[in-house]
Structure 1
Amino acid sequence: MLLDERLKALRSKESAETPDALKSVISTEMKALISSGQAGRAVKVGAKAPEFVLPDVDGNTVSSVDLRAKGPLVVTFYRGFWCPFCNADLQAVEAAAERIRGYGAALVAISPQTPANSRLSLQENRLSFPILSDKNCELAAKFGIRWMPSQALQGVYRNFGTDVGSYNGDGSWALPMPARYVIAEDGTVAYAKVNANYTHRPEPNDVCPVLEKLKAGAA
Structure 2
Amino acid sequence: MTTVQPTIAAQAAAVHAAAAKRLPPEVVAAFDADRSALNAKGLPAQITAPGAPMPDGALLDPHGAATTLTRARDGRPAVVVFYRGAWCPYCNLTLRTYQRELLPALTERGVALIALSPQKPDGSLSMQETNELSFAVLSDPGNSVAGQLGILTVASDDVHKAQSVLGVDLTTANADGTPTLPMPTVAVVDAGGVLRWIDVHPDYTTRTEVAEILTALDGSIS
Q: TM-score, normalised by structure 2?
A: 0.88
**Alpha carbons of 1:145 and 1:103: their partners in 2 closer, same or farther (altered >3 Å)?**
same
User: How far does the alpha carbon of each residue in 1:74-125 deviate from its partner, in whole angstroms, 9 at most, with x for none?
Assistant: 1111111011100001101111201112111111111111101110100001
Deviating above 4 A after TM superposition, structure 1's stretches of 4 or more consecutive aligned residues are none
Q: Distance in 1 between matches of 2:95 and 2:134?
A: 10
Structure 2 partner of 1:29: 34
Q: Distance in 1 between matches of 2:64 and 2:185?
A: 24
Q: Report SS of the residue matched to 1:38.
A: coil
Q: CA deviation at 1:39?
A: 4.0
**Alpha carbons of 1:169 and 1:49: their partners in 2 closer, same or farther (altered >3 Å)?**
closer
Structure 2 partner of 1:93: 98
Structure 1 position 7 matched with structure 2 position 12: yes
Query: What stretches of structure 1 of length at least 5 have no aligned partner?
Result: none
Q: Distance in 1 between matches of 2:138 and 2:17?
A: 30
Q: Is the 8 A contact 2:58 2:144 kept in 1?
A: no
Q: RMSD value over aligned CA atoms?
A: 1.9
Q: Is the 8 A contact 1:76 1:180 kept in 2?
A: yes
Structure 1 partner of 2:197: 191
Structure 1 position 113 matched with structure 2 position 109: no
Q: Is the 8 A contact 1:145 1:177 kept in 2?
A: yes
Calculate percent identity across the aligned residue pairs: 29
The residue type equivalent to 1:106 in the other structure is A
Structure 1 partner of 2:170: 164
Q: Distance in 2 between matches of 1:68 and 1:130?
A: 9
Q: How many residue pairs are counted as aligned between the two chains? A: 216
Shifted more, 45-54 versus 157-166: the winner is 45-54
Q: Report SS of the residue matched to 1:102.
A: helix
Q: Distance in 1 between matches of 2:27 and 2:64?
A: 37
Query: What stretches of structure 2 of length at least 5 have no aligned partner?
Result: none
